[in-house]
Structure 1
Amino acid sequence: MFKSIKTKIISTILVIFGLVVAVMMIVSGLQIKQKTEENVVAQTKIMIDEMSSSFQLFLGQYERGLNQMADSATVKRFTDLNSVTDPVQKQQLAKEFDQDFKKYTDTYQEASYIYIGYPDKSIKTYPFLKVADDYDATARPWYQASVKEPDKVQWSKPYVDAFTGEYVITASKAITKNGKAAGVLGVDIILKTLSESMQEKNLGFKGFPYVLDADGTAIVYPDKQGEDLTDYPFVADMYKANESEGVSRYTMNNTKKVSVYTTVPNLGWKIGAIYPEKEIYKVASELRNLLIWLSVAGGLIAFVILFFMISRIIKPLHHLKAVMDQTAAGDLTVRAEAASKDEIGELSHDFNSMIEKMRGLIAVISASVSEVRQSAESLNATSEETNAVSEQVAAAISEIASGASQSAGNAETASENSGRLGRQISKINKKASGMTAIAERTDKINENGRQQIQQLQNSFDNWKDNLQVMAGVIDQLDEKVKAIGGVMETITQISNQTNLLALNASIEAARAGEHGKGFAVVAEEVRKLAEQSAQSTEKVKATVEELQAGARQVSGQMQETRETFQHQEAVVHNTGTAFGEIAKLMEEMKYSIDEVYNEVQEVAKHKEEVARTIQIMAATSEETAASCEEVSASTAEQLHAIQAVAESAEQLTNLSNDLQSATNQFKV
């Protein structure tokens, strides 16, 4: 489909044209949509500002009229209507009330009722309206709001009047006397005329106006008057934003819409307009469709113009293609027409130059083909002779490689045996090293034992001295105990004599009669003390005898301990002598182990030299075998190369024949 140059050029230009047009339509479409929306929003703001001004003028006239009436002396007199007792005066005042209020309703035709609420809970209206007996005017929101702020006109929320069924709003103003509220003047204003006038406005784009009070209740809204619309997301967002004016976009019932609004000062009402978004963009869509049709028409016209222009431009190419087809068939005598001065003319001229050079090249090739064929035949013969010689060389090298491989294998076996021998020597070396370490540790342990024996000998010497001191102390203790026994014997004798003297004194006191009774009592007490002293002395004597027996026993045990200590001292001395002999033997054994270890070290050194020599021999044999294998491989490769040369020479001969046949096809 796209093999033709003409088709490719036209397709490329049309694609570029289509992309440019598409970008232009997208950009212009977005610009048109944006400008259309901006114009609609700007016009709507102007209209809703006018509606807001109309609302303010409409409600402002009632506010001004209510202020004038509330401040007038006539209306202030009407606050005394319920307090007048004279029937004639009361009737006259009521008549004036009706006349003045009738003038007001005639002037302001949207006022359905005008009335005064009194502090006594009563209310008087014009036109007359009968209210319930329990009606309390002071409980109404309009009354309370006006009393709370007596200097301002108060506006109620819109509501449906219970008597007229009309949608109304109440304006009220306090009537003050001496700075106090004497009543509240109120008027109910019908919003029907205002709503109808707003709904009759033609906003265009199928839009409609709306008015919401400060709490979101619909004053003007199609089929929603009096309903709370704060459940609508765009209404809720509008009040949450707390802005005096703005634009919001939202979707309701799967329809995208645009809302433009402003706020009525003092009342807080929202006046706005709502448009379906697609109606705003309808003009942009129509303009976009028009651009599409214009682009399609322009594309068709461009296609026709390009088709004829490109057909004329590429006509020389068809002639050049025909000449090239003849050249491809082998005719080098043709020539291309180079009439034009553009790139196609230059291409034709270059083509003619190429044909001339090809004719010269074919002539040279034809002359060289025969020489190449002769050289190829000579090369083929030479390669066959070289091939035979290379086969003989390869056989000889294979025998050398076989012998070298066997030598390498024997060297490898010797290397393995030397490796095992080396490992055995290494084990012996490790064992000898371990024996040396054991001998050193044993020598250290023996030295430690000798030190312990020496310390034990020193302890025995100290113990021997202490034992001798202890024996002397025990002997002295025995002497002291014996001395105590002598003293106790003396005390016993004194106690016996004292007892005897006390007995004699008692006898003498008895002889003395009454005069000796006191002395007898003293003698009796002395006798008792002598007996107690004798008893205590006996007890102490018994204790001293036990102490003497214990001292004799300790002395005997000390003798046995001295004998045991002398025996242990001899054993410790013999043990020290044994440790000394062990130390001499360990020194001799350590010397022998060191000799063995040194000899093993010498053997290990020679083992490593032998292993290195065998490894060098094995490596040399392996290198020789590898070199032989490489030479053998190189010889084989050379043999293959010579065979390839022979084959190439044969192929060259065939190619020269083919080339000769090919050059014969050209007509020079």
Structure 2
Amino acid sequence: MNRLQIRSKWKEITKDKVFFTIKNKLIFTFMVILLVPTVLLSYVSYQTARQNVDSQMVSSSREAVELIDALLNDFFASKMQQVDALSRIVDLSAVKAADNSNIGVQDSVRRQLLMYREIEKDADMVFIGTKNGLYMDSADVTKMAADYDPRERAWFKQAVENKGKIVITSPYISSATGNLVFTVAKETADGRGVAAMSISTKKLAEITRTVSIGKEGFVFISDQDRKYVYHPTSEIGSPMPEGEMTSNLYKTDTGYFQYKMDGVLKKMMFSTNASSGWKIGGTMYESEIADAASPILKSTLIVLVLSTLIGSLMVAAIIFSILKPLRKINEASLLISEGDLTKQIEIARADELGVLSSNFNKMASSLRALIYKVNDNAMQLAASAQQLSASSEQITEAGKQVAQAVQEIANGSAQQVVQIGETNREMNDMASQLQAVSHNTDAVSDSAQHTQETAQEGTEAIRTVIDQMNAIGQKVKTLSDDVTGLGDRSKQIVSFTTVITEIASQTNLLALNASIEAARAGEQGKGFAVVATEIKKLAEQSSASAKQISQLIAAIQKDTDMTAASMETATHEVEQGMLKADLAGRSFEQILSSLDSVAVQIAQVSQATQGMAANSENVLNAVDAVSHISEDTAACIEQVAASTEEQLASMEEIASSSALLSKMAEELQETVAKFKV
């Protein structure tokens, strides 16, 4: 099987388990280890940068609001001091009304108002109002209508309501100058009216406009009536829009909230000016936060892509260094599972995979040596079985010849008995049948001679049988020793498989230690934990293969034990056959001895025949003796025939055992032939 066929078969084995291959597990594990921390780090970095930008913008907004609040306090402080001083020194009792007018006339008061206007450069107008409805300002010629009643104005009402306190009104259009102003007012010390100073909102706009938040963010000011004191895009004095923003702004004195206006997401930091009660709001756009964090996101993505590429290359190198030796081991194990033990793994490494490949090569070498020994023993067993079978066939054939010879002897003995009987009957008419008796005596002599020759041949055949039985016994003993040696080598094979199992167990223990070390390594060791798991599986497969080899060797040893038992039975049967052959030999010797006696007696009969006429009684007695001898001879021949049949049956059993032994040897050779060494 070439490398292409091995890989094709391996792909066929693993085609339904694509995701569960070590390669995909390692890729998945390393990519998770690589991408998850990198993506999380990138995400956290981006979110941290975004939060930092957001915090900076919120901090900038807070600083802007606090700056405007401080500037307003400074701006209001001098005006409030001037109004406070004016309210203490102005004498409203001296103010007189002009004819048919509410406009007050008093030079000393006018000079005081003019002086404070000159002191406070930001003042639009300095004026007073009395509780009896008179009005006087710092202008040389007032533009107020004659019926102007200060008591109806907000600045007058608020100052009177907040007796002893300085109040700041909402922006309004001044009737005196036509400018958009707000007024700082306080009730006079004598309680006769209110001293006030109007300030143009342009100064507030100049102060507030200098402060910005981000690129598009801005600061605005609104009064207690929810009207804009300053807004970069809305008209001063215009009401604020109803909605979430305005509602949240006036819930508390200070705070921070997020809102959406015209579909745009914004954030606002606000506070309340202690001097005026106005709201100072700092608005910033959420999009600016994303725009500010966008370069960080781009840099993070570039780092993510580069680190992923570099990490992927490193992961690919690591996976390749692990999978290449594993693929070689898998290919070698697949060849061994197919019976090819010639594959050697060439991995020049000092790590666990190198040790595993070295142990694998040692296992393959041990198996090759084992198969060589088993094959040699199987060939020897087959040869011995063939020799035993051939010897059994020869002995069986010799036994058949002996049986045939014994049958011929039996037939001759039967004929002899018949002839003796005829002789006995004819002895009654000896006188008339003397010539016939003489002729029959000659025939008996010939038959006896033939019987003697046949018995001699049977004796030689029995001796041959005995010699062959001795040879068979020696062969059977040799074969029994070979079978015993085969059993001993099978036990050695079992010891080899035990060594293989111990190696697999040690490899399994090594994989377990690797898993423990990988678990100690945490997330970074998960990939090596998977590798250790796969090594453990390979060790378990090696152990399973060793177990299968042990089972095969156990079956071979069982067959060997059966063969040894059969050989022991065959040895016993051969020994029985040798005993029976020896008995048959002794019987043939007895037959031969008896035939010698018969020959002597026939000679005596022949001699007696010559004197039969003189002594027929002696002839009759001699015939009776011959009859008895013939009967004894027939009985002996029957015993020889029975022994020969038993010997032939034993030879057939030996032949059957030899055939079984030969079949077992062939099966053993077929089993060993499955392995390519």
TM-score, scaled relative to structure 1:
0.50
TM-score, scaled relative to structure 2:
0.49
